Amino acid sequence: MKPIIITVDGPSGVGKGTIAMMIAEKLSYKYLDSGSLYRSLALKLYEKNNNPENILENLDESINDISIDFRYKKGEKAQVFVNGNDYTNKIRTEKVAIMASSIAKDKRARDMLEKYQRSYLTDEGLVADGRDMGTKVFAEANIKFYLTASVEKRAERRLNQLKDQGISANLPTLIQKLLLRDKADTDRLISPLIPAKDAIIIDTSEFSAEEVFNKTINIIRDNIKNI
């Protein structure tokens, strides 16, 4: 029997990571945060190169020297390692997010990460979040969610996350940054951010994570027998 795959795509700050992880926990499936792979590759290329303007310069030489390993265990925080070094926390900056969005336009980078993402799938079942999980990498997924929310709401949530981490930020700047990244992710030629034709679209603007999770789990139970 083929493993069950659930994809959760959407723009940045929409809460897809939280929801995807809650679904994975509930169903005891594997979880994959594909954005963390783009962030890790971007940061590693930057560290090798130290030229933010052109981190893809050495991609061809570097591609065989970079090994990315995403790890998730039920009930624990997901982690990502690059060549054995823990990158989990250091990829979570806005600077790395912008670099990730920029390398995400490159076919070589996407092919490398797609291979990894496919190899991550096992019989256990998978919940994968990102931009092209349902349209490209796991196009055969059993259920595809596409989460949206107003940019104001997404920026507000990001502001609160940052506040919790003791980092100060302001709403207009966060809105600007989100809009720029949305544009880069939507306008790119390969695997742009777009809902899959068969995706279930959920606007999360007015709902808590718990409420969105309940919606998704009900849809999953209605569509997949024996879950």
Q: Catalog residues that contact ligand DC under the rule CB under 6 A.
A: 12, 34-35, 38-39, 97, 100-101, 104, 130-133, 181, 185
Element holding 203 (H helix, E strand): strand 200-203
Helix (H) / strand (E) containing 82: strand 79-82
Task: Considering the complex, state which of residue 188 and residue 227 has its C-beta at the smaller distance from ligand DC.
Answer: 188
Query: Which is nearest to 81 in space by CA: 43, 119, 124?
Result: 43
Rounded distance between C-alpha atoms, residue 11 and residue 161, angstroms: 17
Query: Closest distance between ligand DC and the C-beta of residue 211, in Å?
Result: 22
Least distance from C-beta 104 to ligand DC, angstroms? 3
Q: For ligand DC, which residue has the nearest CB?
A: 35
| Residue (194 or 227) nearer to ligand DC, CB | 194
CA dihedral 181, 136, 124, 24 (to 10 degrees): 30
Minimum CB distance to ligand DC smaller for 190 or for 222: 190
- Asked whether 83 and 67 are in contact (CB, 8 A), the reply is yes
Least distance CB 134 / ligand DC (angstroms): 10
* 131 versus 157: smaller Cβ distance to ligand DC: 131
- Could you give the CA distance from residue 13 to residue 19 in angstroms, rounded to a whole number? 12
Distance of CA 63 to the CA centre of its chain: 21
Q: How far is the CB of 54 from ligand DC (least distance, A)?
A: 18
CB of 132 to ligand DC, least distance (A): 5
Q: Between residues 39 and 157, which has the closer beta carbon with respect to ligand DC?
A: 39
Query: 127 vs 132, which CB is nearer to ligand DC?
Result: 132
How far, in Å, CA of 18 to CA of 81, rounded? 20
Least distance (Å) between residue 69 CB and ligand DC: 17
Half-sphere exposure of 76 (CA within 13 A, CB side): 10
